[in-house]
Amino acid sequence: MIPAQFDYLAPTSVADAVAALAEHGDEAKVLAGGQSLLPILRMRLNAPGVVIDLGRIPELQGVSEDGDHLVIGAMTTYAAVLASEAVTTHAALLSKAIATVADPQIRHRGTVGGALVHADPAGDVGAPALALGAELVIAGADGSTRTVAAEDFFEDLFATAVGEGELLTQIRIPKHTGWGAHYEKFVRVSHQWSIVGVAATVRSEGGSIAEARVGLTNMGSTPLRARSVEEALVGQPATDEAVRAAVASVNDGTNPPSDLNGDADYRKHLATVLTRRAVLAAAGA
């Protein structure tokens, strides 16, 4: 199938893109890498009157460093993130999670910003962004920008803090230099959406866990952070027994879906197992 007719705009600056959004309002859909949007348009699940393509805005591309933060342009592709030494060094968790997204062709086109705004709860970018305490920079009308913590960014299924007439422009990630990281993704076949995924990053000190951050994929309508697990891990040795005990509370506050891939109880079981594996791998155990 092919998409329904639409008008196509390809602005070359954020200001022009925001102006186009203001002009077309509800009629418009923003095209980032298009790896989720184009299937939606082809299956006619959505038929916007106008498509605004962000692919020709250079200021939205690339990874840079700003003091103790990494700054990732919203239109930076997964492949570019994977190729970035700065991300591997300072936010290894993001690299590990993105390496599991879909397949190589999709990773050449799909973007970090597009994934975050699409906010599919089974997507693999939200949990590491949340665990790393990312800040999302959002551009609005008249050149205004605001910054939203990842904690406040995800509102519901496919819903974020990016409001009407606004665009996500940057993802700012506090550097986690020297932290071990692992993303444990459970799928039944290759290049599938996560049935459950767990993003864990750990700072070790003298053989035990000094700090830990844990994010969960597809355990609710948004990515979730497992704060009780993070707290329980502090000071623990990276042993199977200690980590097993510390992750027991991982399902506090989760509300996983039941679907063809598994019911909610099965996902809760997976979350416990995958969190243990992710934490142990992140701690180098």
In the complex, which residues of this chain contact other proteins (CB under 8 A)? Answer: 1-8, 10, 31, 34-35, 38-39, 41-43, 51, 53, 55, 79, 102-106, 108-109, 190-191
Minimum distance from residue 7 beta carbon to other proteins (Å): 7
Minimum distance from residue 62 beta carbon to other proteins (Å): 16
Buried b (16+ CB within 10 A) or exposed e, 132-169: bebbbbbbbeeeeeeebebeebbeeeeebbbeebbbbb
Give the distance, in angstroms, between the CA of residue 253 and the centroid of all CA atoms in the same chain.
19
Residue of 70, 61, 66 lying closest to 92 (CA atoms): 70
Radius of gyration for the alpha carbons in the chain, expressed in angstroms and rounded: 19
Q: Which residues pair with 50 in a beta bridge?
A: 7, 28
Task: Give the SS3 label for residue 272.
Answer: helix
Contact predicate 94/73, CB 8 Å: no
Minimum distance from residue 195 beta carbon to other proteins (Å): 17
Minimum distance from residue 43 beta carbon to other proteins (Å): 8
3-state DSSP percent of the chain in helix, strand and coil, to 5: 35, 25, 35
11 vs 223, beta carbon nearer other proteins:
11
Distance separating alpha carbons of residues 235 and 197, to the nearest angstrom = 25
122 vs 271, beta carbon nearer other proteins:
122
Q: In sequence order, what DSSP letters do the residues of 158-199 get, joined into one string?
A: TEES--TT-EEEEEEEE--TT-EEEEEEE-SSTTPPPSEEEE
Contact predicate 17/167, CB 8 Å: yes
45 vs 205, beta carbon nearer other proteins:
45
Minimum distance from residue 266 beta carbon to other proteins (Å): 24
23 vs 68, beta carbon nearer other proteins:
23
Minimum distance from residue 12 beta carbon to other proteins (Å): 12
35 vs 204, beta carbon nearer other proteins:
35
How far CA 230 is from CA of 18, 73, 173, 276, in Å, comes to 39, 29, 19, 12
44 vs 227, beta carbon nearer other proteins:
44
Minimum distance from residue 3 beta carbon to other proteins (Å): 4
35 vs 217, beta carbon nearer other proteins:
35
